[in-house]
Amino acid sequence: MILVVGGTGRLGSRLTGELVGHGASVRVMARGESQPFPGKPMDGVELVRGSLASGTDCGRGVAGCSHVVFAASGFGLKRGGNPRTVDRDGALRLIDAASRAGVEHVVMMSMHGAAPDAPLDFLRMKYAAEEALKASGMAWSVIRMGANLEQFLDSMSQPLHTKGRVLVFGSGRAPVTFTSTPDAAAAVLLALSGPSLHGRTIEWGSETHSFNTLAEAVLAHAGKGSIQRIPVAALRVMAAVARPISPFMARMARAALWMESGEASFNPAVQRAAFPEIPVIGLRESLDQIRST
């Protein structure tokens, strides 16, 4: 049995379907709040409603599982959690429960830039979870992703449908390495299929683009619209002022400023060279998928 924590999210849903397609028995654990549980679970999938804030729930989730995938995150939550409570504390709680239950292998989804002194709280919390997993005594794999490509394409497209423009935070010129959801799922499947990624931390990206490139691609795909920018100065104000009112908005502004610095880019070819059998699913393919749906 493979437990997918955060299995109702973008990556978790994709991964669950692919695991079932490969004949695996899958258990999905989620709160069912930020993303609802499906009305009818697919064959081969057991749904467990549980919170990473509860040691009891974590224990129920991992019971009888040989592998665990941690795909939950508090970064995008407007309420009910944040990077500290989900990406660090929740992960540590789950790691402890998995170790006690005799889980063999844990795959941790993390982010490029995770470090003890990273400028974003989110990245510091991810690093703390990575270190706890490495010290757990279980086999482990850490997959550090770039920014989720589909998430940004979706968020940029939404105001296009309602206001006729796409939103770009900052100058939009800095390079950012993106990881598509299919690419992230492929890396997890690789980690689960054998020992090649055991005891390894990999940085797994698809393609590097600027936000201007993404915006222009979205506009070309839609055949209409214009670009609206939120200046860097406004982002700095938002990062400072919004925190007591909307920690979510402050978090988004700080992340945008970090991306503006250029630190969100890396060379995905370095890690991908070892796994040429995994095709790159990048911007063009993701836009084609949006067009087909």
pLDDT in tens, 204-241: 999 999 999 999 999 998 888 999 999 999 999 999 99
Range 236-242 contact pairs with CB under 8 angstroms and sequence separation of 24 or more? none
- 216 in a structural domain: yes
- 225 in a structural domain: yes
- 41 in a structural domain: yes
Q: How far apart are CA 173 and CA 187, in angstroms?
A: 28
- 194 in a structural domain: no
Residues 111 and 166 placed together within one structural domain of the fold: no
Task: Check: pTM over 0.75? Answer yes or no.
Answer: yes
Say which CATH number the domain at 258 has: 3.90.25.10
Residues 258 and 232 placed together within one structural domain of the fold: yes
* Residue type at 214 in one-letter notation: L
Residues 139 and 171 placed together within one structural domain of the fold: no
Measured at the CA of 148, the angle between CA 78 and CA 47, to 5 degrees, comes to: 65
Please tell me the predicted confidence (pLDDT) of residue 199.
98
Residues 175 and 122 placed together within one structural domain of the fold: no
The pair of three-digit structure tokens given for residue 6, joined into one six-digit string: 């955060």
**pLDDT tens digit at each of 293 positions of the chain:** 999 999 888 999 999 999 999 999 999 999 866 566 666 667 779 999 999 999 999 999 999 999 999 999 999 888 888 999 999 999 999 999 999 999 999 999 999 999 999 999 999 999 999 999 999 999 999 999 999 999 999 888 888 888 999 999 999 999 999 999 999 999 999 999 999 999 999 999 999 999 999 999 999 988 889 999 999 999 999 999 998 899 999 999 999 999 999 999 999 999 999 999 899 999 999 988 877 66
Task: Collapse the DSSP code of 98 into the 3-class scheme (helix H, G, I; strand E, B; otherwise coil) and give the result.
Answer: helix
Say which CATH number the domain at 124 has: 3.40.50.720
Strands 45-49 and 175-179: unpaired
Q: Element (H or E) spanning 121, and its range?
A: helix 121-134
Please tell me the predicted confidence (pLDDT) of residue 290.
75
How many domains does one find in the chain? Answer: 2
Q: How far apart are CA 240 and CA 247, in angstroms?
A: 10
- 185 in a structural domain: no
Residues 165 and 102 placed together within one structural domain of the fold: no
Tokens 């550090």, residue located: 144
Residues 51 and 30 placed together within one structural domain of the fold: yes
Please tell me the predicted confidence (pLDDT) of residue 157.
86
> 98: domain range?
2-145
Please tell me the predicted confidence (pLDDT) of residue 78.
85
Q: 97 with 63: CB under 8 angstroms?
A: no
Residues 155 and 231 placed together within one structural domain of the fold: yes
Residues 165 and 121 placed together within one structural domain of the fold: no
Q: 156 with 134: CB under 8 angstroms?
A: no
| Domain end point (choices 102, 121, 145) | 145
Name the percent of the chain lying above pLDDT 70.
Answer: 96
User: What's the mean pLDDT when you consider all of the chain?
Assistant: 93
Please tell me the predicted confidence (pLDDT) of residue 292.
67
Please tell me the predicted confidence (pLDDT) of residue 44.
79
